Structure 1
Amino acid sequence: MSEIADAEVARCWDSNADQWTDDVRNGFDVYRDRFTFPAFIDAMPQIDGLEVVDFGCGEGTNTRAFAKRGARLTGLDISQRMIEHACQNEADDPLGIKYLVSSYSEHCGLPDASFDAVLSTMALMDGPDLSGAVREAFRLLRPGGFIHFSILHPCFITPGLGWERDEEGQVVGLRVARYFDRSTFTEHWRFGDRPKDEDVVPFAVPRFPRTIGDYLNALAAAGFVLTALVEPQPAPDACEDVPRFARWRDLGAFLLIVTAKRPTV
């Protein structure tokens, strides 16, 4: 099942890659730029001087940001086309990053205990085999190393999510439904800040809903020890500049950031 699902994930992201890369590098991913990535960095342990692997690196924007913080980076992604974009950026502006096309849920060919940290930004929820991904992270980490990842908050971003509105149409609540529905589906969407009349094919993003217990139990089963769990709210200036962020400040959590350590013994 994993092999078939991985192949479909790769196909979708290869198809998304060109538009995704253009959108991200032209500032249309405002959630990443103003909320999810700054929150990830704020919660991230020190990585200066560390050997780091980025699970689900995509076209490499976040990978490059990690490298600029003094880490030695390897980027891993299942999409050949995404890695091609990342490699081209590295060729144009070298930061010493190595890129590899591979699922993060299988043995990627890199040596055991060869990294100090595994980072993953908004990617683990989009892979079919979470347990395999966490085991691979554990294998790659040296004793004392850590995994630090962000995902859509599984308690709030559920298959039955919906906004509740008052008589004036103002959003006043968040409906959470079908929390335990783990049925996979493919979501079609585009970045919301693109002009509405643009002829842009929506991204096809395979989704694999899970509970918060699924994530934490996968970490425990692999041998990790949880060290931090963060549910950030958008910053005040971000809510002022992007008013729809206020829904995730006041009504529910959009983002979950987890840090866990591989024990030294």
Structure 2
Amino acid sequence: MNPFSDAKVIDSWSKNVSQWTSAVRLGQIETRQCVTNQAIVDAVLQQSPESVIDIGCGEGWLVRALSPHAVQLLGVDAVPSLVEQARALGGGEFRVASYEAIAQGVIDRRFDVAVCNFSLIGKESVEQLIAATPMFLKPDGVLIVQTLHPLMAGGDLPYCDGWRAGSWAGFDASFIDPAPWYFRTLKNWFALLSVNGLRVIDISEPLDPKTQQPASIIFSAVSAAGSEDAPS
């Protein structure tokens, strides 16, 4: 298997289901606890959605967090064992579906909000998913993406798109075989959305309260045909 590929991303996450589930549910990921979890919940609730699809839902924490606020909640993930963990605690509907399957139309309804919370890790699968956004969003729906901030996550490597080696730094020794991830510059995040007919209407950069540096970046985008609003 190519160590820098979408297939390797899924393979690596499949090996760390129980470790990840424990880390999330025990609150062991500091930046999530202190800033990024609440940031993505706030971004979704700002849209006052009745229906939400969480793409790359993992063990389902975001669906559970949104369950008091939305009528229809669907979490999807390509890793069956993560979906099993999500179903065990409930809070919404959960399905196994790869990004490629979603792009091919496996989701049979549309949503007010589609949210991807640190789940757009690969390359081709992510590009296919973004291109298919109109298939699972209502005409006035919003795509919300939280991801690593390109200006903070690039490290000392050249600031250009490309695969990067993964790391479980900061996690305990039970985590194995870290997943690679595909780095995109800020410009090319915008380009990925724009070329697929999406217009960014809002950007936020949640700050780590300790370092006062961006812990992530959140894009909110709508169909370019349906909005003339500028980013704020």
Specify the TM-score bucket, using the shorter chain as the normaliser: 0.7 to 0.9
Aligned match of 2:144: 148
2: CA distance between counterparts of 1:102 and 1:108?
10
2: CA distance between counterparts of 1:203 and 1:69?
37
> Is the CA contact (8 Å cut-off) linking 1:188 and 1:202 kept in structure 2?
no
- Tell me the TM-score normalised to structure 2 length: 0.85
> Is the CA contact (8 Å cut-off) linking 1:55 and 1:123 kept in structure 2?
yes
Could you say what the CA RMSD is over the residues aligned between the two structures, in angstroms? 2.5
Aligned match of 1:102: 97
> Is the CA contact (8 Å cut-off) linking 2:9 and 2:181 kept in structure 1?
no
Aligned match of 2:214: 253
> Is the CA contact (8 Å cut-off) linking 1:119 and 1:148 kept in structure 2?
yes
Aligned match of 1:128: 123
Secondary structure of the residue that 1:31 maps to in structure 2?
helix
Unaligned runs of at least 5 residues, structure 1: 161-176, 240-245
> Is the CA contact (8 Å cut-off) linking 1:48 and 1:71 kept in structure 2?
no
Confirm whether residue 186 of structure 1 aligns to residue 165 of structure 2. Answer: yes
Superposed displacement of residue 203, structure 1: 5.7
2: CA distance between counterparts of 1:190 and 1:152?
15
Unaligned runs of at least 5 residues, structure 2: 228-232
Secondary structure of the residue that 1:227 maps to in structure 2?
strand
Aligned match of 2:187: 213
Superposed displacement of residue 46, structure 1: 3.6
Secondary structure of the residue that 1:43 maps to in structure 2?
helix
Aligned match of 1:28: 28
Superposed displacement of residue 261, structure 1: 1.1
1: CA distance between counterparts of 2:5 and 2:98?
11
Paired residue type of 2:166: E
Paired residue type of 1:67: S
Superposed displacement of residue 40, structure 1: 1.9
Q: What do residues 16-49 of structure 1 show as CA deviations (whole Å, max 9, x unaligned)?
A: 1111101111111121121111122333354555
2: CA distance between counterparts of 1:233 and 1:49?
25
Q: What do residues 84-111 of structure 1 show as CA deviations (whole Å, max 9, x unaligned)?
A: 1111222xxxx3x221222225325013
Identity score, percent: 25
Aligned pair count reads 222
Aligned match of 1:223: 197
Farther off after superposition, 102-111 or 22-31: 102-111
Larger radius of gyration: 1
> Is the CA contact (8 Å cut-off) linking 2:58 and 2:82 kept in structure 1?
yes
Structure 1 segments, 4+ long, off by >6 Å, are none
2: CA distance between counterparts of 1:69 and 1:47?
11
